[in-house]
Structure 1
């Protein structure tokens, strides 16, 4: 059975500077796949390449068997890929409810009530302006928003970054809850969180894949983690 997402030998550039070198990875339907690496390793660029924000100059990206390289980000999202960037881009002047109602209007299996069930805190904050939320509350909001509108594959970029330990635990629990219903590609620096929720792991360094394995074959003391991820 073909992967839901296949990234095959992509080279991505910012101007003349090459950010990704022959990066290949795959995500099967129903999997959680984690990409680990230090800042600047190419993790975010990989996600940006998939959704067309930084399209690769060479290589192929297939989603559901369709080559999506060259498509607009809007068209890629419409095909069922949800993207949650690392900078928590909430619509700050809209309420929590309004932030969720916009993507929910596109249809899909996930409902507003499903989103509130996943993050009960948001249910209590429906009428709050998104710009007034804490960092953790905003992270819950952008993850919930990413689920709505027909998402089958969710790309999560550093969802635990800068969050208090209890909120990190809440995000981890949410990812575990989502595993039964959604395919997830997760970019993380929190090794314990990543290995806890993932089925497979890819490690990036200097824009290249330097390790891949089953998550349960790794731990925080593995040489691949110590050399390319641990600070």
Structure 2
């Protein structure tokens, strides 16, 4: 049984339809990447799963239970973590405080585990999150997303705007997390996405237009060049 099943989902922003009959599945322990150009519906898919933009029709099942239309906080309590693309740290809190808040909900991951994944955060534990660089904030929001009993992590554009070395650190972290978590990744960096993914869904104009195993795919694949390359 898949950990996440999205079936025939239609999602709207007002009267504008953003997702059209989207279906995808994510097995326990997989990294599944959503690829596509800007506006293809990738972020909307994550927001729909997380309950931020509920679907108008279709069904979302998490761990076998129907979560369609549930509030976001209830979905998070079920073990789903969401890391949005805009790096929403709590700026007035320290790094340690940003991590301790979700860690208080319990779960297997601890603050020390987060520091092991991103050692730089340990060095910055007493710094205010609002004073961190973009790369440091990205490490923090990923680490924070792991805490509180997360089993399925939704990651939206984790490498966007980061220096190459930080991108490499994020890639290495995702590879390390593969042993413990299930991940749905939205990523414009196709090479990074293919490096870490088990399977790939390609979206265009709010529709799934292709599904494939990531193994053997390259950025030069004709389907990726047609629907992902700028």
Give the TM-score band, short-chain normalised.
Answer: over 0.9
- Report the secondary structure of 1:45's partner residue: helix
- Report the secondary structure of 2:161's partner residue: coil
Partner of residue 105, structure 1: 104
CA distance in 2, matches of 1:160, 1:225: 19
Partner of residue 23, structure 2: 24
Task: Report the CA distance between 1:217 and its aligned residue.
Answer: 3.5
2:102 aligned with 1:114: no
Partner of residue 126, structure 2: 127
Task: Report the CA distance between 1:75 and its aligned residue.
Answer: 0.2
**Structure 1, gaps ≥5 residues long:** none
**Structure 2, gaps ≥5 residues long:** none
Q: Which runs of 4+ in 1 moved over 4 A?
A: none
- Report the secondary structure of 1:216's partner residue: coil
Partner of residue 50, structure 1: 49
Partner of residue 154, structure 1: 153
How many residue pairs end up in the alignment? 230
Partner of residue 36, structure 1: 35
CA distance in 2, matches of 1:124, 1:66: 40
Partner of residue 203, structure 1: 202
CA distance in 1, matches of 2:203, 2:217: 15
- Give the TM-score normalised by structure 2: 0.99
- Give the TM-score normalised by structure 1: 0.99
Task: Report the CA distance between 1:16 and its aligned residue.
Answer: 0.3
CA distance in 2, matches of 1:68, 1:196: 31
* 1:154-178 Cα shifts (integer Å, max 9, x gaps): 0000000000000000000000000
Computed over aligned residues only, the root mean square deviation of the Cα atoms, in angstroms, reads 0.5
Partner of residue 91, structure 2: 92
CA distance in 2, matches of 1:214, 1:88: 29
CA distance in 1, matches of 2:215, 2:106: 36
Partner of residue 3, structure 1: 2
Partner of residue 188, structure 2: 189
Task: Report the CA distance between 1:61 and its aligned residue.
Answer: 0.4
